Chains A and B, each alone.
Chain A
Amino acid sequence: MNSPHAILQGKACAPGHFEGEAVVSNQPFGFWQGLDPLTGIVIDQRHELYGTSLKRKAFFFPYGRGSTGTPGIFLEAVRNACAPAAIVNTKSEPMIVMCSLLAEAFFKVLIPIVDGLEGDPKSLLRTGDWVRIDGTTGIIDVISRS
Chain B
Amino acid sequence: MHLTEEERQILDGAFGEPQRIALNVLIKLGDAYGAERMVEIASAHIVGSSYQIAGEAGIEIYGKLVEQGAKVKVRTTCDPGSIDFSRWQIFKTPPDYAERQIKIAELLGQMGVIPTWTCTPYTAFNVPRYGEDLGWSESSAVIFANSVIGARTNRLAAYVDVCAALVGRVPRFGLHLPECRRGQVLFELASELSDNFEDHFFPVLGYFVGQKAGDRIPVINGLQKATLDQLKAFGAAAAASGSVALYHMVGITPEARTLDEAFGGRQLGDRTVVGRSEIDNTLEQMNTGGPGAVDIVGLGCPHASIDQMRRYAALLKGKYVHPSTELWICANTVVEDMARQMGYIETIELAGAKLMVGTCHNDCPLGAWNFRRLATDSGKFAYYTPTTVGTKCIFTSTEACIEAAITGRIGSA
Residue positions of A touching B, CB distance < 8 A = 13-14, 32-34, 37, 43-46, 65-73, 75-76, 78-79, 93-95, 97-99, 101-102, 105-107
Q: How far is the CB of B53 from chain A (nearest CB, A)?
A: 3
* Size of interface on B: residues with Cβ below 8 Å to A: 40
Does B55 sit at the interface, judged by CB under 8 A? yes
Measured in the bound complex, the distance between the Cα atoms of B52 and A76 in whole Å is 10
Mostly, the B contact residues are helix
Measured in the bound complex, the distance between the Cα atoms of B29 and A93 in whole Å is 11
Does B115 sit at the interface, judged by CB under 8 A? no
Does B368 sit at the interface, judged by CB under 8 A? no
**Interface residues as binary, B215-245 with A (CB distance below 8 Å gives 1, 0 otherwise):** 1000000000000000000000000100100
Tell me if A68 and B61 are in contact (CB < 8 A). no
Tell me if B57 and A68 are in contact (CB < 8 A). no
Residue numbers in A under 8 Å from B33 (CB-CB): 94
Specify which of B53, B60, B243, B386 is in contact with A66 (CB 8 Å cutoff). Answer: B243
Tell me if B157 and A44 are in contact (CB < 8 A). no
Tell me if A71 and B157 are in contact (CB < 8 A). yes
Tell me if B32 and A97 are in contact (CB < 8 A). yes
Residue numbers in B under 8 Å from A34 (CB-CB): 387
Tell me if A68 and B384 are in contact (CB < 8 A). no
Tell me if B157 and A95 are in contact (CB < 8 A). yes
Given A68-B47, A69-B47, A72-B54: A98 touches B138 (CB 8 Å cut-off): no
Residue numbers in B under 8 Å from A76 (CB-CB): 54-58
Q: How far is the CB of A83 from chain B (nearest CB, A)?
A: 10
Which residues of B, 134-169, contact A by the 8 Å Cβ criterion? 137-139, 142, 154-161
**Interface residues as binary, B1-33 with A (CB distance below 8 Å gives 1, 0 otherwise):** 000000000000000000001001100110011
Tell me if B53 and A72 are in contact (CB < 8 A). yes
Does B324 sit at the interface, judged by CB under 8 A? no
Does B81 sit at the interface, judged by CB under 8 A? no
Tell me if B53 and A79 are in contact (CB < 8 A). no
Residue numbers in A under 8 Å from B29 (CB-CB): 94, 97-98, 101
Specify which of B137, B215, B386 is in contact with A68 (CB 8 Å cutoff). Answer: B137
Given A94-B157, A106-B159: A73 touches B53 (CB 8 Å cut-off): yes
Q: How far is the CB of B381 from chain A (nearest CB, A)?
A: 13
Tell me if A33 and B388 are in contact (CB < 8 A). yes
Tell me if A98 and B387 are in contact (CB < 8 A). no
Residue numbers in B under 8 Å from A95 (CB-CB): 155, 157
Tell me if B25 and A102 are in contact (CB < 8 A). yes
Residue numbers in B under 8 Å from A99 (CB-CB): 157
Tell me if A37 and B55 are in contact (CB < 8 A). yes
Tell me if A68 and B56 are in contact (CB < 8 A). no
Measured in the bound complex, the distance between the Cα atoms of B159 and A71 in whole Å is 7
Tell me if A105 and B21 are in contact (CB < 8 A). yes
Does B300 sit at the interface, judged by CB under 8 A? no
Specify which of B56, B60, B158 is in contact with A69 (CB 8 Å cutoff). Answer: B158
Residue numbers in A under 8 Å from B52 (CB-CB): 72
CB-defined A-B contacts under 8 Å, sample of 19: A66-B155, A67-B240, A68-B137, A68-B158, A71-B48, A71-B158, A72-B47, A73-B53, A73-B55, A76-B56, A76-B58, A94-B32, A94-B154, A95-B155, A95-B157, A97-B32, A101-B160, A106-B60, A107-B57
